Chains A and B, each alone.
Chain A
């Protein structure tokens, strides 16, 4: 049985280590998000060169979410947001997880084994949010605290938001080194010979019912 957790941000390491793959989480508090590849490259460059980031990411939750942001009456708004494919950021994540001490990364599609190792070492989890959850997730936005790197297109910018009950996200990779993505890929590869055998039998049956050689 999986558990459901209501988590208040920032997350403590012990809270993160208590999460198991398959658990559901709702997040309340401040987090950072971006959907940009150039943004991840820029964060990595800052981390590696020691340059300051425009907003704090140390010990934070980083969501790989794209969001439409705009300024209305001098205040920034995020009109909507939604997860993007996290595996695009595989090359950057192990370093970012370790150096920034990220407590959770969220998006869709998971991260690779190297990122999972970094998560296990640092005490970080990966949260899967269904793509196509735009309306539900956008309803959780309470305040936009900062929108940085405005030279980038809207959904690549680095945004700091306060959310309430953002979720549910499914723990896809936990801090004990378990990754649903790696497990399921290995399981599918293991099942493949049997699946191909089932297909062969079904073809033979279909051919027999048409009176044709299989």
Chain B
């Protein structure tokens, strides 16, 4: 038995499509809870509209947002997985077929960065990164389509032997700069350490962590908790029109590094596109969202 080209093509397209039509359950719950808690009337109303919109999209199998973003996949390959056929090709073909068949059709968001021409395809699209899981007999694929609304506010800066005060001060600076722009309430991912490229990946992975799973190390979990309070003390609120709910979660990941410490901060907007599946050698597929 093996994980085949056909299976990867079908599952990656489905992960993308699901992320457009359905927001994760934990996110819906977080929005509902915030709608009952926020002290601002405008915020409560906005949060209720968000829940209504998400429910309507799911019920009608429509899109939550018209901006389907660009397709982004995070792949973790188990070292005991048998692959049959081209893996990246399967993802490219799966997206191309989705573009041809999805109803309603998608708008053109894949942008050539030098000419600003837009289409459904482009160099290196879909964006896929790969990691390994030693000993696993499955491939885990996370799909996180990314659009300008929240994508443009991610930031990274490199510090030299920073204190926690410096790191957290920088996170707040990025949050204040994003302000009302990134369709809050957002999920905030923070990646600390490693190298330039690795810190950004850590932040992305942190952002995609389900709610209610604080970092395993108490020191980092405490940082997540205090940064969430701090983000919500800013007052930007849902859609940036004021309130206590600017972020639904702050997730932090870190890696050891050298004396230079990159700090990366990224955001997922309130619809929190995040779908995940495991594809086993047996042909079984487990969908996590």
Binding site for B on A (CB under 8 A): 1-2, 22, 24, 65-68, 70, 79-82, 84-85, 87, 108-110, 128, 130-136, 138-139, 153-155, 168, 170, 172, 180-181, 184-185, 187-189, 191-192, 194-196, 198-200, 202-203, 206, 210
CB neighbours of B118 from chain A (8 A): 153
Q: How far is the CA of A184 from the CA of B180 in the complex (A)?
A: 8
CB neighbours of B105 from chain A (8 A): 68, 70, 79
Q: For B46, B66, B183, B222, which residue has the most chain A Cβ atoms within 10 angstroms?
A: B66
Task: Say yes or no: is B11 at the interface (Cβ < 8 Å to chain A).
Answer: no
Known A-B contacts A87-B181, A192-B176, A196-B172; A80 and B233 likewise in contact (beta carbons under 8 Å): no
Q: Are B176 and A188 in contact (CB under 8 A)?
A: yes
Identify the 9 closest CB pairs spanning chains A and B, nearest first. Answer: A82-B66, A202-B226, A131-B183, A206-B222, A188-B234, A135-B56, A135-B62, A135-B57, A132-B271
- Which residue of A80, A187, A202 is within 8 Å of B235 (Cβ)? A187
CB neighbours of B234 from chain A (8 A): 188, 191-192, 195
- Which residue of A136, A139, A194, A199 is within 8 Å of B49 (Cβ)? A136
The stretch that binds A, out of B126-134, B208-216, B238-246, B253-261, is: B238-246
By DSSP majority rule, is chain B's interface helix, strand, loop, or mixed? helix
- Which residue of B107, B176, B183 is within 8 Å of A189 (Cβ)? B176
Q: Are B63 and A134 in contact (CB under 8 A)?
A: yes
Give 20 A-B pairs besides A80-B66, A206-B222 with Cβ atoms closer than 8 angstroms. Answer: A1-B41, A22-B42, A66-B67, A66-B107, A68-B66, A79-B104, A80-B62, A108-B239, A128-B241, A130-B46, A130-B50, A135-B60, A154-B108, A155-B66, A172-B241, A181-B179, A184-B237, A191-B235, A196-B172, A198-B233
Nearest Cβ distance between residue A206 and chain B, in whole angstroms?
4
Nearest Cβ distance between residue B167 and chain A, in whole angstroms?
10
Q: Are B164 and A203 in contact (CB under 8 A)?
A: yes
CB neighbours of A108 from chain B (8 A): 149, 183, 239
CB neighbours of B107 from chain A (8 A): 66, 68, 153-155
Q: Are B180 and A135 in contact (CB under 8 A)?
A: no
Nearest Cβ distance between residue A158 and chain B, in whole angstroms?
16
Q: Are A184 and B240 in contact (CB under 8 A)?
A: yes
Task: Say yes or no: is B169 at the interface (Cβ < 8 Å to chain A).
Answer: yes
Q: How far is the CA of A139 from the CA of B49 in the complex (A)?
A: 14
CB neighbours of A81 from chain B (8 A): 66
Q: How far is the CA of A206 from the CA of B60 in the complex (A)?
A: 47
In the complex, the chain A residue whose C-beta lies closest to that of B269 is A131
Nearest Cβ distance between residue B109 and chain A, in whole angstroms?
9
Q: How far is the CA of A84 from the CA of B152 in the complex (A)?
A: 13
In the complex, the chain B residue whose C-beta lies closest to that of A84 is B67
- Which residue of A128, A136, A153 is within 8 Å of B52 (Cβ)? A136
Q: Are B230 and A67 in contact (CB under 8 A)?
A: no
Task: Say yes or no: is B95 at the interface (Cβ < 8 Å to chain A).
Answer: no
A and B contact pairs by CB, cutoff 8 A, 18 listed: A66-B67, A80-B63, A109-B239, A130-B183, A132-B53, A132-B65, A132-B269, A135-B60, A155-B66, A170-B45, A170-B46, A180-B180, A184-B240, A195-B233, A195-B234, A198-B230, A199-B168, A199-B230
In the complex, the chain B residue whose C-beta lies closest to that of A138 is B62
Q: Are B240 and A134 in contact (CB under 8 A)?
A: no
CB neighbours of B271 from chain A (8 A): 131-132
In the complex, the chain B residue whose C-beta lies closest to that of A170 is B241
- Which residue of A2, A24, A134, A181 is within 8 Å of B66 (Cβ)? A134
Nearest Cβ distance between residue A144 and chain B, in whole angstroms?
15
Q: For B46, B223, B238, which residue has the most chain A Cβ atoms within 10 angstroms?
A: B46
Task: Say yes or no: is B279 at the interface (Cβ < 8 Å to chain A).
Answer: no
Q: Are B49 and A168 in contact (CB under 8 A)?
A: yes
- Which residue of B41, B149, B233 is within 8 Å of A191 (Cβ)? B233
- Which residue of A1, A22, A132 is within 8 Å of B50 (Cβ)? A132
Task: Say yes or no: is B80 at the interface (Cβ < 8 Å to chain A).
Answer: no
Q: How far is the CA of A65 from the CA of B45 in the complex (A)?
A: 21
In the complex, the chain A residue whose C-beta lies closest to that of B165 is A200
Task: Say yes or no: is B148 at the interface (Cβ < 8 Å to chain A).
Answer: yes
CB neighbours of A199 from chain B (8 A): 165, 168, 172, 226-227, 230
